Structure 1
């Protein structure tokens, strides 16, 4: 009997120390990350309506570093929202990590000023028909070497904007806050995807591998910021020509599937010369297809619920709203990606 006593005591101790799952209300959201002139398509509008989406995280522009010109906010879309229902818009800014590796503090002061000015300008010009929201989100894959400058920049943004500032949070800094620091923002969006470098491990789904997710979310952790959750619903193809990676293609797998033959899990070989998305595919080219399924996401959500301590109110955002990506999921499947987070 004694040999069973220690495991039982450890189990009871774990149960006593574990914080009960407490999510009561889920705000439904999408990321909208297109990089051209756009407005909602009929199918995208239907998704918003059917899923009762109340918030969109929208990429307003990107920031790149140029040795001659400095840090340049680049707008890659022309916002044009037309919807029969009002929803909230959270302006998002994607900033390359090089910006913080290459910039001095005074350059970051100027960048923060420019970003807030441009966001307010775009909101005034393009968002008259949607709800105002007192939040902006910064998206950057910061590293240990860029952390100090990035956190300095976030403080400046908060100081200038005077409203809520959130940021994206990858799983590595989530798991290792002592090493990576806690970003000085009001809340963070935990990005539960893109866990694997596509070129480092060619045998795993680089967008979402549930086993890899479990390595980061391997026990309950109470992060010192409010956490929302982002999940992937997109898929992509990685093209290899002469065994060398060429580019990523996000859509059109259905169009070329008849001209592919499976060679091993995730991998296909092109059987006919064809043109796809202005890319010429030749016989013998290889394609790795990382596809996200409802079953994968259900398992991922189970792992998240078990190990990520969330508040009673949480926003769940799917990445991203696009005809070619949402068509692989039924409306019922997409609804479960939100409802599974409820008690």
Structure 2
């Protein structure tokens, strides 16, 4: 008896095609943003970018802490516009200068933790903010301050009853034995500031992929397993005067170089042809402006590299500003 080959139903091919397309479709990385302005106020571009992000959180700088004349001072405490609203839960993020921990006494550590927690609670209550059960501390600790900083993190957790997390800089990964491991369960790896913008260099000081790879070559061995990733989307212009001194003008891009008073030296660098006010600064003839910004390709290179090093992670882009998010496809 001969068996005739049956034809497969049409829906089978439809399902097969759908699966093939799905497999080839690139999954978008879960992401959100840092909000680093002193006033909580989202314009339509920023709100749209935030609403479209997959993470339920917005990492919001509440205030900085510095030690001035021997006293701990909150600096640039956040305010909130009456029209600000978001469905995202806010993660209070506090930047503390490293010098705040230099020559600090144990009782001062406890005092600082109490004051930081009290200031956070004050802002939450005053502005009716919906917050997550987390406080993130940002500090570029050093070998000399690590023990006191780590003790501060422990005390803050004890006093606040919150999950305490902290940022992690590239050199703190590379030199983890020397720099120590913070007493937290989750860190935020800051994948930017690979060099100083005030040095004479052809490299992009915001993010140089080769430098980043060298710092993170052993990232998979870092003992804290939960690592989130902070990536840069900001830009700036580096102004150099006749003496080789540098200054930064934030939020400039290559589009800003289209000016008849500028002579183009390269795609991202110009020479000023006459004295005048540019971008709110008086700049002299002969000064140069070099733009540093981050392309989608650069970010993708970093993401692909990190995907081979660590498990699933959320990206927190620095920072949420219409100048930096408009036109980007996250």
TM-score range, shorter chain: 0.7 to 0.9
1:240 to partner: Cα distance:
1.8
Which secondary structure state, in structure 2, belongs to the residue aligned with residue 221 of structure 1? helix
Q: What do the CA deviations read for 1:123-177 (whole angstroms, capped 9, x no partner)? A: 112134x4x3100000011111111111111111111111100000001111222
Residue in 2 aligned with 1:251? 251
**1:69-218 alignment runs, 5 A limit:** 70-80=71-81, 82=83, 85-128=86-129, 130=130, 132-218=131-217
Instruction: Check 1:60–1:275 CA distance in 2 against 1; reply closer, same or farther (3 A cut).
Output: same
Which secondary structure state, in structure 2, belongs to the residue aligned with residue 193 of structure 1? coil
**1:1-343 alignment runs, 5 A limit:** 27-35=30-38, 37-68=39-70, 70-80=71-81, 82=83, 85-128=86-129, 130=130, 132-219=131-218, 221-225=220-224, 226-253=226-253, 254-258=255-259, 259-264=261-266, 266-307=268-309, 309-310=310-311, 312=312, 314-327=313-326, 329-330=327-328, 333-334=329-330
Q: Deviation above 6 Å: which 4+ runs of structure 1?
A: none
1:187 to partner: Cα distance:
0.9
Instruction: Check 1:78–1:232 CA distance in 2 against 1; reply closer, same or farther (3 A cut).
Output: same
1:204 to partner: Cα distance:
0.5
Q: Is the 8 A contact 1:31 1:57 kept in 2?
A: yes
Larger Rg belongs to = 2
Separation of aligned partners in 1, 2:86 and 2:94 = 25
| TM-score for both structures, normalised by structure 2 | 0.84
1:218 to partner: Cα distance:
2.1
1:219 to partner: Cα distance:
4.2
Q: Is the 8 A contact 1:195 1:213 kept in 2?
A: yes
Q: Is the 8 A contact 2:32 2:315 kept in 1?
A: yes
1:84 to partner: Cα distance:
6.2
Any gaps of 5 or more consecutive residues in structure 2? Answer: 1-26
Q: Is the 8 A contact 1:205 1:290 kept in 2?
A: yes
Separation of aligned partners in 2, 1:249 and 1:143 = 28
Any gaps of 5 or more consecutive residues in structure 1? Answer: 1-23, 335-343
Instruction: Check 1:280–1:302 CA distance in 2 against 1; reply closer, same or farther (3 A cut).
Output: same
Separation of aligned partners in 1, 2:78 and 2:281 = 23
| TM-score for both structures, normalised by structure 1 | 0.81
Q: Is the 8 A contact 2:190 2:229 kept in 1?
A: yes
